[in-house]
Structure 1
Amino acid sequence: MKKMINKDYILRLAEQIGYELSILIGLRKRNRYQDELLTIDNLLLKYTGLTSRFINSLSDELLLQSLSPLGKMNVDTGLWIASLLKEEGAAYEGLGNSNESYYRYTKSLYLLLELLHQEHVGTDSTLYDDADELIQKLTDYALPAHIQQKLFRYYEQRGMYGRAENILFDLLEQYPSAKVLQEGHEFYQRLQKKSSIDLQLGDFSHEEVQEGIEQLQRFN
């Protein structure tokens, strides 16, 4: 029952946020980027009690901690911030400021991936579309380890095992650690228990699982 309540609540919250975002998109279509940024700051203050300046002064990890006083992210505040940071990134992109847009996009993606992991969100939710749009926008950038770790978990959660494996080995190449290596072993252990059909749906196979396990050995 609690999961269904959470699902319905997140759906209603997303609809409310969508209404506010439509106003922002309207401003952006008319190239009123500064007005959009001002409106975003007002919306952040209204719905979260925080300003854009303060939110963006925090590291991703510290921001998540501040939104998780009981160890779990506050859904309301987290989703408002993730959604509005995404729009703020789009406004800066319109202004030709790629540094500021990248910073907002990564912070938004970080929060959104954490929320999708923690909450029971239906597979038809537009939040997945938002996450995929952010991932696409960041395709040409080298993402920091803490974002890639959440992407690894996200792709496995969605059954995209081939993509998850790509992220895993990117992490091991760029940011090798015993923790990531252990997560890799646990990942393949979970995949070994999947049926051939499940793996095929995730662009994977039992043969590739075994190959992945063997590849992990060179990182030991």
Structure 2
Amino acid sequence: MINKDYILRLAEQIGYEISILLRLRKRNQYEDELLAIDNLLLKYTGMTSRFINSLSDEMLLQSLSPLGKLNVDAGLWIASLLKEEGAAYDALHNSHESYYRYTKSLYLLLELLYQEHVPFDSELYQETTDLIAKLTDFELPEQLEPKLFRYYEQRGMYAQAENILFDYLEHHPSKDMLEAGHAFYERLQKKNTADLELGNFSQEEVLEGIEQLNQFTI
């Protein structure tokens, strides 16, 4: 688990840099903001925006995980700055470019929250919620949905996790996701009624979900 004080210090440093970016955005200096973001990425990660955005989400994650574990510093800087880059493109009415920044940022945040077991009171969860909200009206990339499924279960949001599970299986039949679904319902069967209700779920819905899942053959 990431040390809470460490996250706070890193978030404070990132927040200071983002406050400067926000001032540029408020003055409608979007090109200057994009240039500043590129300089910050190079300064704190050694990579430019162009290079980062040329990589697939999976390749980016691999490049940040040389020993099989995500580099928290670089991952958080990139996730935070890509989100701001997406906002700058939003302000320029370029939803195509903003979409890819938001999805890549969310991909990294979801992986970081999973690998590091970040405390639930961390601001990173609000950042994740904000990104999910920005992508509500868009179709999510295939590689993002399993991580979002895992995230919702991790947060105890079982109804949302189930929605992601069946949407994914319907559009991207996958043996791995099918097995993940069975394991998901096995875990839910061990939970009490109160825990399920907190996740907007019930024992009856668990049984219905298992029955529906059994109809998938891959």
Normalised TM-score (structure 1)? 0.96
Structure 2, unmatched stretches of 5+, are none
CA contact (8 A) 1:109 1:134 kept: yes
Q: CA deviation at 1:157?
A: 0.4
Alignment of 1:1-220 (within 5 A): 3=1, 6-220=3-217
Higher mean C-alpha displacement, 15-24 vs 76-85: 15-24
Q: CA deviation at 1:123?
A: 1.1
Q: Distance in 2 between matches of 1:136 and 1:29?
A: 22
Structure 2 counterpart of 1:192, one-letter code: Q
Q: Distance in 2 between matches of 1:8 and 1:117?
A: 18
CA contact (8 A) 1:7 1:120 kept: no
Q: CA deviation at 1:130?
A: 0.8
Q: CA deviation at 1:9?
A: 1.1
Q: Distance in 2 between matches of 1:122 and 1:185?
A: 27
SS at match of 1:166: helix
Q: CA deviation at 1:180?
A: 0.9
CA contact (8 A) 1:6 1:119 kept: no
CA contact (8 A) 1:6 1:120 kept: no
CA contact (8 A) 1:109 1:135 kept: yes
CA contact (8 A) 1:114 1:150 kept: yes
Structure 1, unmatched stretches of 5+, are none
Structure 2 counterpart of 1:34, one-letter code: E
Q: Distance in 2 between matches of 1:170 and 1:22?
A: 38
SS at match of 1:159: coil
In angstroms, what is the RMSD of aligned CA positions?
0.9
Q: CA deviation at 1:12?
A: 1.3
Aligned length: 217
Structure 2 counterpart of 1:108, one-letter code: S
Q: CA deviation at 1:76?
A: 0.3
Q: Distance in 1 between matches of 2:67 and 2:4?
A: 20
SS at match of 2:144: helix
Q: Distance in 1 between matches of 2:21 and 2:12?
A: 15
Q: Distance in 1 between matches of 2:171 and 2:39?
A: 39
Q: CA deviation at 1:126?
A: 1.1
Q: Distance in 2 between matches of 1:120 and 1:144?
A: 24
SS at match of 1:84: helix
Q: Distance in 1 between matches of 2:141 and 2:77?
A: 23
